[in-house]
Structure 1
Amino acid sequence: MEILNFDHVKLIREQNVLLQDINWHVKSGEDWAILGLNGAGKSLMLNMISGNLWPSEGKLTVLGELFGETSIPDLTKRIGWVSQSLQERIHREERSEYIVLSGKFASIGIYQTYSEGDLAEAKQLLRSLGAEKLIGKAFKVLSQGEKQIVLIARALMAKPELLILDEPCNGLDLFAKEDLLARIKRMKQEIDAPSLLYVTHHTEEILPFINHLLMIRNGQIYKQGLRKELLNEATLNDFYQRPIAIHTMSEERLMVIPR
């Protein structure tokens, strides 16, 4: 089954073309990074995947379900999404394990009946991410990085087939960012880990297991394919339309620096 299939998708709002002729296919088992500057169209594509926006033209298939022929509420239960906007909606007083547990019901707060087994599973998810120390702590006392870990665990609670991490390192300091990236790598080592879309401005966040890259600029796909074939100085100079230099970090990670 294909995870995503954008087939000549166009998005128009108030006579403005926001996304133009998007053709993009993600196969089961693939992990992709989506790279682009502010305003490139990354968030619009995510909102289309989640059913918040619909194509003005073309066809969009998500997890084998064709838009227009499927139930969007049922589809969104199969997708985990971690974003800054979600963090702002979480109840500040709620403890970490209960925030994770709420992912089972796709709710902000818990209003449904749950079992002790459900709560134990939520705690185990935090442990699996190396975050056992967060159990019992209120969301308001967590650091920015710790909050992101809790929200990733929350997304995994629903056992999604697709996990979207939308700029998860935004606002983190150097050390918190590296800690979060290490936990994401740890998550992907689990046998039942979902396919991942990692959205970022920063090439150094693209971990080695993310083999595919979609580069988007001005609402259009600039290039897509294997990361190792696209992350080079010539391609990135043209993509950013400004001179850059590349610094090679450990684990095949690359940092782009303006010249």
Structure 2
Amino acid sequence: MTAAFELSKVSVVRPGKILLENISWTVEEGERWVVLGPNGAGKTTLMQIISATLHPSKGKVRLLGSKLGRVDMFELRTRIGHTSTTVADRIPASESVSNTIVSAAHAVLGRWQEQYDDEDHVRANQMMGEMGIAALADRTFGTLSEGERKRVLIARALMPDPELLLLDEPAAGLDLGAREDLMGSLEVLSSAPGAPVLVMVSHHVEEIPVGFTHVLLLRGGKVVAQGPLESTLTSETLSKTFGARIQLQREAGRYAARRAAYGHRADNTGESA
């Protein structure tokens, strides 16, 4: 397998605070990763590094075959799809969904004087179809529900056919129905032939789509555990990550977590003891 990216002993240090400490992490082509951790764990900083928007203070990073510090960062970013609330906040409320998506071909937000060919429009329509939002093509972004916006953002991130897709808390703020609609879309995407390497950040195990393969658990800027999802995500590792006794359950490929009852402890099988 070829590595999509490799982090070797990476640290990010700011005055009076270590944001990430000695992170080594390799993600191979074909893998689907979820990054879990509480607020302040370093998840956002980690995503900034693998989206080629932040250089580490220490350590080495190879991203899509190139070493950070020896590559054109702007060119590298065109090969990475990224969804976040920051992107959503920059999309004009009056922009149509179809223009929101097709404009990603020129890496702009808000369509102006760019010229798009038939191939661009075909690609945008394909992405809307795959994310189940074709009926929203003529709607303006400002009229969409939160769940619809999240799927538009993913379609936009997929528009340039990225090699790496980063999803920063894609289910944040969604109600149960919208979350499950999004999970269904991500499950389809994760199993699609030729899909990019996926890395998703979340606080909640309930938001891990079926089809994801690996997990990285962070706490206080350090790795608690990483590896194949089924063997690495356990009650024990989840409890260490969130600093509470957590009982983990898995059914039909989906996860659920709750605080372990008093008088019981969480073991690494997901059962109370």
Residue 14 of structure 1: CA displacement? 1.8
Deviations 1:101-159 (A, max 9, x none): 01111111123111233223212210122222111111111110101111111111100
Conserved 8 A contact 2:101-2:159: yes
Distance in 2 of aligned mates of 1:240 and 1:148: 26
Q: Please state if 1:60 is matched with 2:70.
A: no
Distance in 1 of aligned mates of 2:193 and 2:236: 37
Given the two structures, how large is their TM-score scaled by the length of structure 1?
A: 0.96
Bigger mean CA offset, 86-95 vs 103-112:
103-112
User: Which letter maps to 1:241?
Assistant: G
Distance in 1 of aligned mates of 2:139 and 2:104: 17
Specify the alignment match of 1:12 in structure 2. 13
Q: Secondary structure at the match of 1:104?
A: helix
Q: Secondary structure at the match of 1:163?
A: strand
Matching of residues 206-245 of structure 1 within 5 Å: 206-245=208-247
Distance in 1 of aligned mates of 2:146 and 2:57: 37
Q: Please state if 1:2 is matched with 2:3.
A: yes
Aligned length: 258
What root-mean-square deviation, in Å, do the aligned CA atoms of Structure 1 and Structure 2 show? 1.3
Specify the alignment match of 1:79 in structure 2. 80
Specify the alignment match of 1:131 in structure 2. 133
Q: Which runs of 5+ in 1 are unaligned?
A: none
Distance in 2 of aligned mates of 1:88 and 1:76: 19
Q: Which runs of 5+ in 2 are unaligned?
A: 261-273
Distance in 1 of aligned mates of 2:17 and 2:247: 34
1:184 to 183, 186, 200: 186
Bigger mean CA offset, 68-77 vs 46-55:
46-55
User: Which letter maps to 2:75?
Assistant: D
User: Which letter maps to 2:134?
Assistant: E
Given the two structures, how large is their TM-score scaled by the length of structure 2?
A: 0.91
Distance in 1 of aligned mates of 2:25 and 2:119: 39
User: Which letter maps to 2:139?
Assistant: K
User: Which letter maps to 2:61?
Assistant: L
Dislocated runs of 4+, deviation >3 Å: none
Distance in 2 of aligned mates of 1:190 and 1:223: 28
Conserved 8 A contact 2:99-2:111: yes
Specify the alignment match of 1:200 in structure 2. 202
Matching of residues 64-143 of structure 1 within 5 Å: 64-111=65-112, 112-143=114-145
Residue 179 of structure 1: CA displacement? 0.2
Conserved 8 A contact 1:18-1:219: yes
Distance in 1 of aligned mates of 2:138 and 2:24: 45
Distance in 2 of aligned mates of 1:13 and 1:52: 16
Distance in 2 of aligned mates of 1:237 and 1:187: 30
Q: Secondary structure at the match of 1:92?
A: coil
Distance in 2 of aligned mates of 1:113 and 1:168: 30
- State the identity as a percent: 36
Conserved 8 A contact 1:80-1:163: yes
Distance in 2 of aligned mates of 1:211 and 1:88: 31
Distance in 1 of aligned mates of 2:244 and 2:59: 32
